[in-house]
Amino acid sequence: MAYIEFKDVNKSFGDNHVLKNINLSVEKDSFVTLLGSSGCGKTTLLRSFAGLEGIEGGKIMLGGEDITNKHPRERNVSMIFQHYSLFPTMTVYNNIAYGLKIKKLSKDKIKEEVKAALEAVELLDKMKSYPSQLSGGEQQRVAIARSIVTRPKVLLLDEPFNAIDAKLRKELQLKIKEIHKKYGMTSIMVTHDQDEAMTMSDTIHFFKNGNIEQSGSPLDLYMNPRTSYVASFMGNYNIYQPEIFSKITSGKYSGSKTTAFRPEALSISDINKEKAQGEVYNFSGEILDIIPQQNVARFIVGVGDSKIFADTIIDQLSKFKKGQMVNLSIGKNKILYY
């Protein structure tokens, strides 16, 4: 049996059926992500697990125990919220110590645990500061320290890096994973950022309209998205209706299915070079734009009225220029059909 199980979980707000018979299992010590667009029910699912939201059918199990009707405090679950939720009138130390005081630990023990948590997020020197004296990233690190200090069995993270700049975001992602391992926690994170989900997760559950559309490893979701909606979320797939892809391929494609392929699955070459042979589709177009993205160069190529994304490693960037005509080819076995 899995460590955490949602069984036929339903939840509505008025006539808005937000969680539609959710069945989801989470293995012990794993890091899982709920990925999906705004309003699809991610926060509601986390809140229902934490006991902050009642459910209307189904049950929630933790370590073999039915916790559906347990008080939030009895669940041994800690949540980092989508919006900062530090106590503004308490110092960093007291913010973190709060949960331990409620548990009536000794003063010395509290001191020891708070220091360990602050060390984990590298904020020992800010112990006496107030939240308003900290940057957004520092506040979020305090929120992390506060949620791990009670050594919860399960850590819930609701878009924990929302207001944080890209560099610090990367650092905090690694930090959280490190803490997750070190403290031996099972973690469920909510995000709408596919890169973040890919970086951090053992398993991703892709949410759409209160249903789980697909579950799997990051690589699995990336390589084998089950629907074009998942494909559009994962890895910037090029997705075309059948008649559009037929136009792109000058009629070579005559199927009736929507086609999807990843930008890095395309080959790009100078228009004067020989075209690729074999089981491929070739098409030519003009480079409309070139966008460097970390170690990848993304070419936006106009083919007829359509735009196609083609990625290469970054050192290919200088080989091509904006306005240049190029050949693109895609292996037929690289195309997914929906």
Ligand X SMILES: Nc1ncnc2c1ncn2[C@@H]1O[C@H](COP(=O)(O)OP(=O)(O)OP(=O)(O)O)[C@@H](O)[C@H]1O
Residues that bind ligand X in the complex, under the rule CB under 6 A: 13, 16, 18, 38-44, 82, 192
Nearer to Mg ion, 42 or 298 (CB): 42
For residue 159, the minimal CB distance to Mg ion (Å) is 6
259 belongs to the binding site for Mg ion (CB under 5 A): no
- Residue 225 contact, options ligand X, Mg ion, none, Cβ 5-8 Å cut-off depending on partner type: none
Least gap, CB of 208 to ligand X (angstroms):
10
| Tokens standing for residue 181 | 């391992």
In one-letter notation, the amino acid at residue 271 is I
CA distance 32 to 190: 9
Closest distance of CB 35 from ligand X, Å: 10
Residue 132 CA to residue 149 CA, distance in Å, equals 21
Residue 18 touches which of Mg ion, ligand X, none (CB < 5 to 8 A by kind)?
A: ligand X
CB of 260 to ligand X, least distance (A): 24
Question: Which CB atom, from 46 or from 326, has the smaller least distance to Mg ion?
Answer: 46
Identity of the residue, 50 or 117, whose beta carbon is nearer to ligand X in the bound complex:
50
Phi, psi of 328 (to 5 degrees): -120, 140
Q: Burial of 62 by CB count in 10 Å (0-12 exposed, 13-18 middle, 19+ buried)?
A: buried
Task: Tell me how far, at minimum, the Cβ of 234 lies from ligand X, in Å.
Answer: 17
Per partner kind, with CB cut-offs from 5 to 8 A, the member of ligand X, Mg ion, none near residue 38 is ligand X
Min dist CB 214 to ligand X, Å, is: 16
For residue 17, the SS3 value is strand
The item of ligand X, Mg ion, none sharing an interface with residue 248, based on CB under 5 to 8 Å by kind, is none
Instruction: Give whichever of 206 and 283 is closer to ligand X, judged by the CB atom.
Output: 206
| Binding partner of residue 19 among ligand X, Mg ion, none, CB cut-off 5 to 8 Å per kind | none
Which candidate, 160, 120, 153, places its Cα nearest to that of 136? 160
Contacts of 169 (CB under 8 A, 6+ apart): 161, 196
CA-CA-CA-CA torsion sign (121, 94, 74, 45): negative
CA angle 7, 12, 13 (to 5 degrees): 150
Three-state DSSP class for residue 159: coil
Region 13-72 residues binding Mg ion, contact defined as CB under 5 A: 43
